[in-house]
Structure formats: C-alpha cells, structure tokens
Structure 1
Amino acid sequence: MASLSLRLVALFAGVVAVCGPVMVLWLARFERRKVLAVSLLIFSLCSLLSARAPSFAVLMALRVPSALLHPVFFSVAFASALSLYPADRAAHATSMAFLGTTLGLVLGVPLSTWIEATVSYEASFYFSAVVNLVAAAGLWVMLPPRPKTRVASQQNPLLVLRTKRVWLAVATAVCMFAAMFSVYSYAAEYLAREVHLGGEAISLLLVVFGIGGVLGNLIAGRALGRQLAWTVLSYPIVLASAYSVLLVFSSASFAAMLPICLLWGAAHTSGLIVSQMWMTSAAPDAPEFATSLYVSAANLGVVLGAFVGGSFIESVGMPGVIWSGWLFAGLAVVFVLARRIKSWS
C-alpha cells in the first residue's frame, strides 16, 4: 500500500511540476472566480469518482485532472487574495491565504485519516467531494467578480523567464521544499524509530506540529511584511536550527517533544509563505505565472527531498534525514545570497 501511495504522490507532483505553468497561461483569459469555482467542482467530481474506482489504474487516471488544476487554483487564489488588499499589505494577504491552506492540512488530513480508519477509504473520498463542493459554493457567493487574470501590463508572462532572479527564486523554492520534506516525509517513522513513540503519541505530536504551523505562518507573514529579503535569508537557518534541536533531543520524553514539534511545525510551515513571497517578488508583473512556477518548484522539491532523505536513511540510518535537511537548507541560503548579490551589482 505504501508503494502505491508513493506512486500516486509522484504522479501528482510530476504532472503539477510539468504542466502547471502551461495550464495557468492557458486559463488566464477566463475570469478568476469562474476558474476557482470550476476547479473546485472538478476536484469534487474526481474525489467522488475515486471512491468508486474499479482499479488502481483508474484511480491514477482520476488524479490527473486534479493535478492539472492544482497549480491553476493556487495561482489564481493567491492573485485573488492579493487583489483584495492594498499593495503594501501583500505579505498579510498571502499569509491569510496560506493560513487557510495550513488549517486545511491540520484539520483535513487527520479528519480524512480518521474517516478512513473508522468507516472506509471510500468515505474519505466522499468527505473530500463534499468539502470541495461546499468550498466552491462559498467561494462563488463570497468572492466578488474580478477582471480576467491576464491584465494589460502582463502582455507576455513568459518574458519573466529571461531574468536570472526568477530562476534563482525557483532554485531557492526547490531547495527550501526539499529541506522541509527531506525530514517531514519521514516524520512518523523518525518519531517511532528515534524517539520510540507509539502511534497515538505520534498522531498527537503531528497535531501539535500543525498548530505550530499555523503560528509560524502568522509570524512569517508579519516578518515578510517588514523585511522580505532578510526574512527569506533567515528562514533556512531557522529550519536547520529546528532540525538540530530535533536531532539533539531525539531521546527526549513525550512531554519534551511537545514544544520541539511545535517549533518544528512553525519552522516547517512558514517555508510555504516565505518561498512563495520570494518567488512572486522576482516577477511582480506576472503574479499568477510566478505562483505557478512556485507550485511547480514546490512539487519538485517535495519529490527531491523525499528521495534524497530516503537515500540518506539507507546510507547512515534514520538521523540521515536531518543531514539531508541541513544540506538543502544550506543550498537555499546560497541561492538567496546569489540573488541578493545580483541585485546589488
């Protein structure tokens, strides 16, 4: 089952990484609210059909539409959030959008897992279908109509690919996500093997991790609004420091692990908004396309981090995931500094 799940995740991430920017450009001519609502309706339909999928091949095929629209939804959603706030509150708007994403992960993933364990895996798909349907209805009612996503000043978003700062931002996002998911991909296994905790204790610690993520998102949003560059530069260092604490106190008691997981969650989840703001700041005239590049980079980073983290485990044991996280955090610092030096020259 684990290998099948890994194949589903890899397929989803691969489709997002390759097709995301293309889909965003293709759908740029449509009004934002319609794009968001239709995306959610398709998510709902795919979840509904997945519950009755007769084979794994069909289940894999049903992941493709969601994967194609995933970067579109996030790109347009973040652009819509920014349009609701004045320009000087861009960081706050982004943090609010990510707060919804974080809460969805903190609440949705455990709830879906619980439904699967207590009812059936089909029921978890039905739950996802209902949530997406309700979200589509709420978005259609609450979000005011806006102009089409491509505005006059954004005549050709592909032009941003000519700038080195965009590619440095992409590399930074890949490394940040690789640093995050080198460790998080093996969080439950790490807590079981290194801290010697049982399933219930691990589940509780992951909830605490999620709470830390909500707090980290809010703190990072404020810091980015005050000083973007220094916050981005500091982030990989903070994440690496959290990993150091996790490694040093790996033999700590369950009670001691509570604040450690809170810190880890805050450091991990704040990377979402930090890397996204760094990406969009590199291409301010093409926010939707920049966000699609961010989503692609994020998915590449997730796959890369999980792969390298697993390789480190095979080479040096479970603590190797920490070394993998340190490695990618260091590379992220290098790419951030490279962009800063480029802007100073």
Structure 2
Amino acid sequence: MGFLLLRQRRIAAYRLPEVEPNSLPISVIISARNEAENLQRYLPTILEQLYPTFEVVVVNDCSVDDSHNVLLHFSEKYPHLKLVTVTEHRKFKTGKKFALTMGIKAARYEHLLFTDADCEPASENWITLMAQNFTGTTEIVLGYSPYRKTAGFLNAFIRFETLRTAINYLSAALGRKAYMGIGRNLAYTKSLFFKRKGFASHLHVLSGDDDLFVNQNATADNTVIEIHPGAFTYSEAKSTFSSYFRQKKRHMGVGGLYKARHKWLLSLDAVSGFLFYILLVLSLYYRLQPLVLGSVYVLKLLVQWIVFRKAAHKLGNASLLWFLPFWDLIYYVYLNVFGLIGTFIKTTRWK
C-alpha cells in the first residue's frame, strides 16, 4: 500500500489547471510505416486542429503500401503538412528512432509534439492544451493516450494496464520524479533533443524513443503533465493475443536501461504485488492466518479503490474498477511474466 499512499495518490489528488493558451509555434511529428489506412482516417483530425501556428511533419518510413500517394494527396490540400521520406537501404536498417530523428531535423519549430499515425486527438484543441504547458523551465510534457473500448477480455485488460501505467508515470511526474512517457502523446523541445544527443545512447535498442528518452532527460524542474480530456489521443488496442505479445515484448525490453532508482522502484512494485497474491493464496490453502491476511487484502482493496476511482475518473476509465480485484491480480502476473520475457528476448523490428 506504500505505492498507493505515497506515489499513486498524486494523480488522484491532482486538479486540472485553467486552460491558458499560448501562441508558441508547434511542430507535430508522426513516424508512419505502412500506415496508409490510418493516415487516411486520422491525419485530417491533426491537420485541422484549432491552433494559430503549427506544422505537421509526417515521416514516411520505408512504407510499401499506398502511404506515399495518401500523403501527396493531403499535401495538396494542407500547406502546413511537410513530408519526409525514409527509404530502405540494403546495408543500413532503419527503425523508428531514425525516422523520428529525420522528422525532428526537418521540423521548423522549437516545440515538438509527437503522436502516432493510428492516433486520433480527443478534440480539436489537442495542440492548444499540450502547448500551453511550455512555460518557464518546462522542456517535456507528458500526455495520456488511452485505447478505445471494445468488447472482450483482451481489450479490457489492455485498457486497465494502460490506466495503471498512466497512474504510475503521471504520479511520478507530479512528484518531480518523472521516469517515462508515451510516444502516442508526448511533447518536448528540439533544443533538449539535440543537447542530449537525441537517441544516441540507446540507438541499439529497438524501442525507447519515448520512455527511455524521458527517463534519461526528465528532471525535477523540466517535466509537467497534461491530462485534460481534450488533450487525450485515442487509438485502437491490439485485437489478438499474438499482436499484443509482440507489442509488449518490444516495450518490456527497454526497462533494463532505466535509471537504477527507477528500475528498483518498478521492480519492487511488480514483485511485492505478485508475492502478496501468492502469500494470500498459500495462507488460504494452508490456513495460515487467513483472517489477518484477508483483512490486509480488504484494506488494500479499499485504499486502492479510493485512489484509483479518482484517478480513473480523470483518465476516463472508471468502469474498469468494477472488476478491480480480478484485474489487479492479472496485472501483477502480467508484469512479472513480461518482465522476464523482456530480460531474455530481444526484437529486431519496430513494426
């Protein structure tokens, strides 16, 4: 319960500030590989944002579908759309970090806002809400990107895992100890990117263009969050266990490169949560102080419900909490299983 009371409660207690729009020019950057259908569907929602000065830089990363023609068509209608093309080289394999670097270099403006080709902003004020945070010493803005609700166990768990992850990293940022961000909704400055040599320190790792960059560059003074509902970006969750497994295998593989204190805290949360359920089951099976552990479990669940209820209302997934005991157990099993998988298995492609 220490994580609940000391860390995760911060997002529950957080109050949204008043919207204070600014007029900083913004470069929205999207890396897209074989995303013709998603670009056709979602790119207009970004190009038609209500913001005074912005450009949208789309990096067509070695696509072999109809992405090129789709982007050419949009560029004729939207003059603030800038196209960057990365072609596959026989001797040099590119990845998302290379594509993003090309997009950042091509960006006209200092303040950069990132999302993916399969993401849709919750409102036409997405840029406004994210950009308003670039004041004072702020160099990084952490947004939130939930998945759309559909039927089925997998979708519900993905949305719960996304909610839990968001509660963790947003609360950490509120505590001035940011350790990760999500590339589907993330902003930072071009100066910070080049000052810290971009992705150079982890270019050998497939993933990490978002969480590793934040982990290595966030400080107590340069990172803020934005969780206004209009600033969310929505996307479709994976619909099969195999595709979800591939996605999470990529993401889990970068955890070993986090700063030591972040690795320790995240590992402590995962292992302690898992061991709690093991001890609970063993105590019931062997009848070892079941009343004591049962009381502790009820207390933990009550505190968790109070904290998560407020956070989930802010982040738009309150309905998931009706099955909190079940999802919490599955979540800790998932954390430990994929933690082990990420330790021993490496992937060689980003899509």
- Same fold, TM-score > 0.5, yes or no: no
More strand by share: 2
More helix by share: 1
| Higher RCO (CA-CA < 8 Å; seq separation 6+) | 1
TM-score between the two structures when normalised by the length of structure 2: 0.24
